[in-house]
Chain A
Amino acid sequence: QKEVEQDPGPLSVPEGAIVSLNCTYSNSAFQYFMWYRQYSRKGPELLMYTYSSGNKEDGRFTAQVDKSSKYISLFIRDSQPSDSATYLCAMTDSWGKLQFGAGTQVVVTP
């Protein structure tokens, strides 16, 4: 079993809908949680960073961490076709290596 589980999708939504993404993990030592966006043939780009449990909002993006359930989520409001990409969750127990999920492909249709 992988340390970080993420549904690969694809997840297809109409423009303007809310996109809901999530990851589960098994390592209770993880305390730093990130979401990266990756466009085709590009490197991952950091979207959100959260330390420990709680919610964080940045514009149309909201990240949630529930350490008791070992579950993290990313919500994208008012989705746009430009949001079509692969979304990767990542986490770490320290400032070293990140453990990534497999990524969820999101397609926002006009």
Chain B
Amino acid sequence: GAGVSQTPSNKVTEKGKYVELRCDPISGHTALYWYRQSLGQGPEFLIYFQGTGAADDSGLPNDRFFAVRPEGSVSTLKIQRTERGDSAVYLCASSLRGTGANVLTFGAGSRLTVL
């Protein structure tokens, strides 16, 4: 696609529920990133994929968070047993590796509200 697409754009859920957020990166981009942005803060790194594998998942806050990218394109961020503190905008970005400049293109984000 022309840009990074994220669905849903908004998600409201109840505490304890399971949530999946989807990211469709720019076609041909091999690197994919998930960030979380809380109100009034900059994006905070969660996980980075190079192809199908997670190259760096050091930003995942705990084992309730998990992400997959099974075919090296679309990625899903999964959050189990959601807590109110998980409320934030979840941003996905992709980049074309090997160009000499790791320019990240961000999607518009999925706004998660946990009641």
Contacts and interface: CB of A to CB of B under 8 A. Distances in A.
B42 A6 contact: yes
B55 A96 contact: yes
B42 A46 contact: no
Nearest to B91: A43
Interface residues of A, number: 24
Contacts of B106: 36, 43-45
A13 interface: no
A88 to B, nearest CB: 5
Given A43-B106, A96-B48, A88 B56 contact: no
A96 B50 CA distance: 10
B10 to A, nearest CB: 10
Given A32-B102, A97-B48, A102-B40, A43 B109 contact: yes
Interface string B57-69: 0110000000000
B104 A100 contact: no
Interface in B93-109: 93, 97, 101-109
Contact of A97 (B33, B103, B108): B33
